[in-house]
Homo-oligomer: A and B are copies of this chain.
Amino acid sequence: MKLSINQLKFIKSLHERKYRQKYHKFIVEGVKLANEVLESKRLVVELVIATQEWVTENKGLMHDKMTVLEVDEHELKKVSLLTTPNQVLLVANQSDQPINENTVKNGLSLYLDDIRDPGNFGTILRIADWFGIKWVFCSPGSVEFYNPKVVQASMGAFLRVNSLEISFSDFVAKFPDLPTFGAMLDGISIREGQLSAPGIIALGNESKGLSWEIQEQIKHKISIPRGIGGGAESLNVAVATGIICAFFAPNYK
């Protein structure tokens, strides 16, 4: 079948942040990711657009409340954001998890200051997921959690890791006793510092690092020392996040 003009228009509108927020929905693409979403049952999925082949193979993942539109690859391509051919696209409802205060108070969380690159954000969600971190907070204006490139790069981590936009000041006001860590070039080496949960680790923007405003509110400044003869100016923010989390992990709660 072909998609109607209204269906095309609706799905393509979800390529834009404005309409994702208006409808409170987002797009998940590709067999691996779509199947993981359907199997997890953590999100409400009302619309599935897929090839006949995918529908035949995945009957078990569908239920009565889903609208399933069988289309050919050419038709799917019209609404897809992927460059390589795929078989399935889901429209899922965004899920707002209330902050579980005990999880934040007793565990390790991340705070991303003005992160801009969706690939970096998705990769950081994947890192959080690997290390069992449940909350990744972001400054207002950061790249959006439900951006399709974030969803794609997170490799399914968006199903298990929660995110919320909140200013660092508001976060600190909400959790005044939680130790604050921040990655800075002049911080104490992660090899020397006493790194242990609970706490929140703040990481800066790709090119500017942590804003002064946030730096002033950080109790424990930490850094990843350069190797002998090292030349790079900085590390990629997702790589830095991975390294810091790995040094925290032995002391996890």
Contact = CB atoms under 8 A, between A and B. Distances in A.
Interface stretch (A3-11, A58-66, A90-98, A242-250): A242-250
A50 interface: no
Nearest to A226: B130
Interface of A: 119, 123, 126-127, 129-134, 155-157, 159-160, 190-191, 224-236, 238-243, 245-247, 249-250, 252
Given A225-B249, A247-B246, A250-B191, A232 B129 contact: yes
Contact of A224 (B156, B234, B246, B252): B246
A231 B119 contact: no
Please state the number of chain copies in the assembly. Answer: 2
A130 B252 contact: no
Nearest to A241: B239
Contacts of A245: 227
Contact of A228 (B129, B231, B252): B252
Contacts of A155: 232-234
Contacts of A127: 232, 235-236, 239
A232 B36 CA distance: 12
B238 A236 contact: yes
B131 A227 contact: yes
A236 B131 contact: no
Contacts of A134: 229
Contact of A243 (B129, B233, B234, B246): B246
A133 B242 contact: no
Contact of A239 (B133, B227, B230, B238): B238
Nearest to A161: B231
30 contacts: A126-B235, A126-B236, A126-B239, A127-B232, A127-B236, A127-B239, A129-B230, A130-B226, A130-B230, A130-B231, A131-B226, A132-B229, A132-B231, A155-B232, A156-B232, A156-B233, A159-B231, A190-B246, A227-B245, A227-B249, A228-B252, A236-B242, A239-B239, A239-B241, A239-B242, A240-B242, A242-B242, A242-B243, A243-B246, A246-B246
A92 to B, nearest CB: 18
A133 B227 CA distance: 8
Contacts of A226: 130-132
